Amino acid sequence: MPETASSQALDTFPRLLLNHARVRGGKAAMREKDLGIWQCWTWQGVADEVRALACGLAEMGFRRGENVAIVGDNRPRMYMMMTAVQSLGGVPVPLYQDAVANEMLFVLVDAEIRFLFVEDQEQVDKVLELQEQLPQLKHLFYDNPRGMRHYTQPFIHDVRELMEMGRIHNRNHPDLLATAIATGSTDDVSVMLYTSGTTGKPKGVRLTHNAFISAARGGVEFDHLTAEEDILSYLPMAWVGDHLFSFAQAMVTGFTINCPESAETVMNDLREIGPTYYFAPPRVFENLLTQVMIRMEDASAIKQKMFHYFMAVARRSGAEILDGKPVSTADRVLYALGNFFVFGPLKNVLGMSRVRVAYTAGAAIGPDLFRFYRSIGINLKQLYGQTETCAYVCLQPDGEIKFDSVGKPAPGVEVKIADNGEILVKGPMLLKEYYKRPDATAEAINADGYFMTGDAGIFDDEGHLKIIDRAKDVGKMANGAMFAPNYIENKLKFFPYVKEAVVFGDRREMVCAFINIDIGAVGNWAERRGIAYSGYTDLAAKEEVYGLIQESIEQINGELVGEGLLADSQIHRFLILHKELDPDDDELTRTRKVRRGFVAEKYGVLIDALYGGKDSQFIETAVKFEDGRQGKVAADLVIRDLKTFGVAGREAA
């Protein structure tokens, strides 16, 4: 690397930017599609605009160390504003752009925001709604002037005015910015990201330049990323993943970030850009696959035959070829043919022809889904991390992909498992503190400097970390074995026939389960077999459906036996609920998570029947219909025993 000599100094984001402007000033740093054409900013261009923004802020009375909120879709100028704020020693605070006004209020007040940069009229309107509750707000800048002609409030400015002011300021004080950047330290806070706060108020996570630069360098080295990568920046800027991929890693390597034209055009933009480095949450991969499958069903018979034939080849050998494992010559030839006729064109349609590394995280990804992408030659991997660790704890190394693990600890990160199963991590990427919350900081970081993730996990024999559950949900069975309900429920939900599952076993001698069938998938299955049914309750009680679900669960029992600590969590008895769990009945949260305690209480009689060894149980439940009426659903539920497997070296349970 030619920069090695000066790399000592490249320890803050503004210094990295200046270096890129010097070393690769003419290379594309950011692109954005506007009026149908991809507009480009070079690194020199970005540096110039950042200078104008920063000097403008200085002219407006910006104070070192203060927080600046940034709200909007991924736009080049939004990213530039981050560096501009950092240049002056301030802290950018990106907010989720789809938050309603009241959700924004807490953060704007908590972070004492005086300067606020928003994307467009929609965001300005939200701020104006809150104006009376924001006495400290001094200046509001907007990027997109559309619809802003009639806003005459003196504290609202077009960001172009700010930049113009900055350019004049820069002519009068040419050294100011250089001095400000030289004053900055790598241990200064570089960004504050608010955690979504499922419980209690959101907390501002303060992360330093050093933390993010270390995390970015580690990831870059791990995946051999270069300045030639292209990435599509379309996930919320307030989310730690986007900050790592689209901001920190781009700043470290000098690769190009591409901002989509609008939220609706992301798929088109993806195809046009053809990123080499890609990140998406599991549901995006799932939607893409569904679209492909639906379109395949409309294709001609020959195409369908080809598709299914070569997909079978891919399932057999694709992932192994990607991992560089030995594969028979015949399969290699077939795979190459398949690549020419099917996988290549398919990847092109998905916009993934050039993808070298793709990551997913944020939720559990189904093994079939994961395997599909890997088998057609997309190097999709999982990672593990949280806001407090710059989304950088574990990564799956190339060639060592396991579908149910999140990989090995990333370079520079130390991971250990506490006695209660909780994952503890330590490294340069840890948060500095929670903003104004020393109590929360003290709670999250233990005396030895480990961050307590709140997740429970285990290492397998090859040192891969497997995430099991939230630590607080993990219980113990009567015999002391670990019981991780979410882990088992997720396994169940990976079967297309299972919509929801609730398992019980904490402080009990065996694990039992409630199942909700997926009416679409099971209904389809029943139709193909000529099984008539009148509705959910009827279908759920069918003998054949019980058989179908029983098979699935017994398969899981077989898997659990091999998972050491979890072998005792095999499911002994189950029943299929007579109604679907529903947020309207308070059984699920609005984000469709099971409220375990509530369900256990409401269906206490069923639990007693499961553990009491009964073969069936009558139940009547009040339900709310979609039109708001109340009603009752009653059924006599069958309970079935399941086959369980003995653990080697122990007597069968």
Partner 1 sequence: MSRQIGDVVLDLKKVSLSFGGVNALTDISFDVREHEIRAIIGPNGAGKSSMLNVINGVYRPQQGEIILRGQHFSKMNPYKAAKAGISRTFQNIALFKGMNVIDNLMTGRNLKIQSNLIQQALWWGPARREELAHRAKVEEVIDFLEIQHIRKTPVGRLPYGLQKRVDLGRALAMEPSILLLDEPMAGMNVEEKQDMCRFILDLNDQFGTTIVLIEHDMAVVMDISDRVVVLDYGKKIGDGDPDEVRANPDVISAYLGASH
Binding positions for partner 1, rule: CB under 8 A = 34-37, 147, 149-150, 261-262, 264-265, 268
Cβ 505 to partner 1 shortest distance, Å: 46
158 SS3 class:
strand
Cβ 266 to partner 1 shortest distance, Å: 9
Cβ 379 to partner 1 shortest distance, Å: 29
**Three-state secondary structure string covering 193-217:** EECCCCCCCCCEEEEEHHHHHHHHH
Nearer to partner 1, 42 or 268 (CB): 268
CA distance 63 to 82: 15
**Which two structure tokens, joined as six digits, stand for 484?**
């991780």
**Which two structure tokens, joined as six digits, stand for 367?**
């093994």
CA distance 160 to 51: 13
Nearer to partner 1, 12 or 74 (CB): 74
Lay out the sheet containing 115-118: strands in order across: 91-95, 67-71, 115-118, 139-142, 156-158
Read off the amino acid at residue 595. R
Cβ 262 to partner 1 shortest distance, Å: 5
Supply the DSSP string of 27-82, one letter for each residue: SEEEEEEETTEEEEEEHHHHHHHHHHHHHHHHHTT--TT-EEEEESSS-HHHHHHH
Nearer to partner 1, 35 or 301 (CB): 35
Nearer to partner 1, 92 or 351 (CB): 351
Q: Please answer whether residues 115 and 156 qualify as being in contact, where contact means their C-beta atoms are separated by less than 8 angstroms.
A: no
Nearer to partner 1, 150 or 629 (CB): 150
Cβ 98 to partner 1 shortest distance, Å: 16
Residue in 525, 632, 646, 642 with CA at minimum distance from that of residue 576: 642
Cβ 147 to partner 1 shortest distance, Å: 7
Cβ 37 to partner 1 shortest distance, Å: 8
Point out which residues pair with 384 in neighbouring strands: 394
Nearer to partner 1, 145 or 547 (CB): 145
Nearer to partner 1, 129 or 582 (CB): 129
144 SS3 class:
coil
Nearer to partner 1, 260 or 427 (CB): 260
Nearer to partner 1, 261 or 473 (CB): 261
| Element spanning 501, H or E | strand 498-504
Nearer to partner 1, 273 or 444 (CB): 273
DSSP summary character for residue 397? P
Burial letters 496-519, b for 16+ CB under 10 A, else e: ebbbbbbbbbbebebbbbbbbbbb
CA distance 597 to 582: 15
26 dihedral zone (left: phi>0; alpha: psi -120 to 50; beta): alpha
Q: List the end-to-end C-alpha distance of the chain, in Å, as a whole number.
A: 60
Cβ 611 to partner 1 shortest distance, Å: 50
Residue in 583, 569, 596 with CA at minimum distance from that of residue 623: 583
CA distance 24 to 314: 41
**Which two structure tokens, joined as six digits, stand for 54?**
């920063």
Nearer to partner 1, 350 or 465 (CB): 350
Cβ 154 to partner 1 shortest distance, Å: 17
Cβ 585 to partner 1 shortest distance, Å: 28
Cβ 342 to partner 1 shortest distance, Å: 25
Helix 367-375 with 301-322: angle, nearest 10 deg:
90
